[in-house]
Amino acid sequence: MDIQRETETLSKVPLFSKLEQSKLKLLAFTSELQTYSDGEVVVNEGDAADCAFVIMEGQADIYANTESGEVVVGTLMANQLLGELGVLTNAPRAATIRANGKVIMLRIGGEMFLRLLAENPSVALDVMRQLSGKLVLAHRQNEELQDRLHQLTGS
């Protein structure tokens, strides 16, 4: 993939769609294209969150650890961003991500990602909206699990 194709793909990512072409090219130029094979780990739960990723081609599964082992809790598709929460909070990775088939990702360094947000308020607002949506979903899922637990325990 060349810079032009990377720039075109980045423009399809909702978070980056409002950026000028010159900023998209800079983002593509300063990022690293990485290819993962089926089942290969992209990030491990607990790893340092020093970057974010954009899935350029393919898909990746999100795994959570449970008492009975790892469970797939979600799937990320092409043009989706991942790892942004860890970069923003400077917290370790919350989940393990594995390639589901061949996956091509653009690795955006943490400093570059934060600079992009600082210099582009519309992008920062989109990130806040996406993160807020994730929090709402997590809250709903937590409430559903608590309801099921109460039903099972009878309390």
What pLDDT shows up at residue 59?
97
What CATH number should be reported for the domain holding residue 104?
2.60.120.10
Per-residue pLDDT tens digits for 44-76: 999 999 999 999 999 999 998 888 888 998 999
Residue 66 inside a domain? The answer is yes
Task: Tell me if 111 is assigned to some domain.
Answer: yes
Is 17 a residue whose pLDDT tops 90? no
Q: Which domain holds residue 17?
A: 3-116
Number of domains the chain is built from: 1
* Residue 155 is assigned to a structural domain of this protein: no
Report the range of poorest mean pLDDT among 82-96, 108-122, 125-139.
Answer: 125-139
Residue 24 lies in a domain: yes
The tokens for 37 are 């094979």
Cα→Cα distances 96→11, 59, 61, Å: 27, 14, 8
**pLDDT tens-digit map of 76-103:** 999 998 998 899 999 999 999 999 999 9
127 falls within a domain: no
Dihedral sign for Cα 46, 51, 55, 58, please: negative
CA 43 – CA 98 distance, rounded (Å): 7
User: Phi and psi of 20, rounded to 5°?
Assistant: -65, 155
